[in-house]
Amino acid sequence: MEVKARAPGKIILSGEHAVVHGSTAVAASINLYTYVTLRFSTPSDDQDSLKLVLKDEGLEFSWPTNRIKQEFPESSAEPQSPAPPSCSVESAKSIASLVEGLNIPEAKIAIASGVSAFLWLYTSIHGYYSYKFEISGGECF
């Protein structure tokens, strides 16, 4: 099964930081989008792993779900609440362990933060299921 979604980029014309203090801001969407495709693995796929493909960066990461189970024993096999809890120190260390082995090129090392956030959300919300996430950006046609 496959799910696709897209979200427009935005530009904040005024009041970017004011909104955190209860004030208003003027924002508009722009013709640049983020596209996400989520593919659910089926038992016939023989792939028990989590994959993250950053198409625009030419990067693909993969983790066996058994490794994720080892690093996050507190997660469950069932999807959790859509609002994940705070990241504990132990979970942050587990995420660092999973990201360190990726060999992210030095020129793209900032991507490690995004991958870390992705792993936290995945383990907090989806548990141990096998998925393939493809993320790309571009204009809407």
Indicate the pTM of the whole model.
Answer: 0.76
pLDDT > 70: what percent of the chain? 85
What pLDDT, on the 0 to 100 scale, is given for residue 43? 56
Token pair 């203090």: residue: 21
Closest to 114 (Cα-Cα) out of 132, 127, 95, 101: 95
pLDDT per residue over 64-114, tens digit each? 888 888 887 665 555 555 666 777 888 888 888 889 888 888 888 889 999
What does the DSSP 8-state code read for residue 72?
-
What pLDDT, on the 0 to 100 scale, is given for residue 128? 73
User: Distance between CA atoms of 85 and 88, rounded to whole angstroms?
Assistant: 9
Q: Is residue 129 within 8 Å of residue 40, measured between CB atoms?
A: yes
- The domains of the chain are located at 38-139
Closest to 8 (Cα-Cα) out of 38, 30, 26: 30
